[in-house]
Structure 1
Amino acid sequence: MPDNTSPLWWLFAVLSALIFLALWYPGMINNRQRAVISCPPLLCFVVLIGLSRANDESVVEWLPVYCAMILGFALAAVGHWKALRTFMAWRAENPEKPDSEGPDTPWALQLAVTLPGLSIPAFLLFR
């Protein structure tokens, strides 16, 4: 594994974002949902820039944490595409209703495990 200042982390960051999109896109049923699910990698990168500036560090030094966060979000969808599509179809038909009234969201528990499970070790190892 390269150290946290290696330029290889840019490649890993791009691959992480592509993996995220590849795992979440199958659950989206329309272009609006695909556009919305495309935002987390970009928003996380904006947060990463803010963290690097706030700590007066290079963006490259924060890329391992970015990769872990994006992969944590991505892995939440693994194995739940059918349930995700069901929920997103319900969401498209019922935009005014709260999510709690819709079908179950089994990926939420998986997200609660994978996101900290990847992000915390990355933060501890590379920060």
Structure 2
Amino acid sequence: MPEKSSPLWWLFAAISIGVYLAAMFPGMINSRQKIWVSCGPVAGFLAIMAFSANYDWSLNEMLPAYCGMLLGFALGVVGQWKAMREFMAWREANPGKPDDEGPGVPWMLQIAFTLPIFLGGAIWYMNNY
């Protein structure tokens, strides 16, 4: 792995964005949902920018956590696109209803396992290298 201050992390971040979008788009059923999902990498980047500015860390040193977050979400939905599409179709047909009244969301359980593993690994890496 490159050093956490390596400029290669910008390339890894771009690749992570591509993997995230490629994993999330098949589960969305309309362009509004795809636009909403596309805001995820932007919101994550704004969050690491704010953290970086607040705690005086280099933005480049925060990129491993950014990559870990995006990859954790992306791998959390792999293989669950049919269930995601079913849930998103139900959500579009039933606006305002609580999500727990809709069809099951097995992909949320998968995200609950993959996100802490990838983000935790990235934070461990940032603290040790």
TM norm structure 1: 0.97
2: distance between equivalents of 1:126 and 1:96?
A: 40
SS, match of residue 48 in structure 2? helix
Structure 2 runs not aligned, ≥5 long: none
> What is the Cα deviation at residue 57 of structure 1?
1.6
The superposition leaves residues 13-54 of structure 1 with CA deviations (integer Å, 9 ceiling, x where unpaired) of 011011000001001000100011111111010000011111
**Residue type matched to 1:93 in 2?**
A
Aligned runs of 1:28-39 on 2, under 5 Å? 28-39=28-39
Query: How many residue pairs align between the two structures?
Result: 127
Aligned runs of 1:112-123 on 2, under 5 Å? 112-123=112-123
> What is the Cα deviation at residue 93 of structure 1?
0.6
1: distance between equivalents of 2:83 and 2:57?
A: 41
Residue aligning to 2:94: 94
1:14 aligns with 2:14: yes
Q: Over aligned residues, Cα RMSD in angstroms?
A: 0.7
1: distance between equivalents of 2:99 and 2:39?
A: 19
TM norm structure 2: 0.96
The superposition leaves residues 45-88 of structure 1 with CA deviations (integer Å, 9 ceiling, x where unpaired) of 00000111111121000000100011001111101000000000
Residue aligning to 2:79: 79
**Residue type matched to 2:56 in 1?**
D
Residue aligning to 2:48: 48
> What is the Cα deviation at residue 95 of structure 1?
1.0
Structure 1 runs not aligned, ≥5 long: none
Residue aligning to 2:63: 63
**Residue type matched to 2:7 in 1?**
P
1: distance between equivalents of 2:108 and 2:12?
A: 25
Percent identity, aligned pairs only? 52
- Which has the larger helix fraction? 2
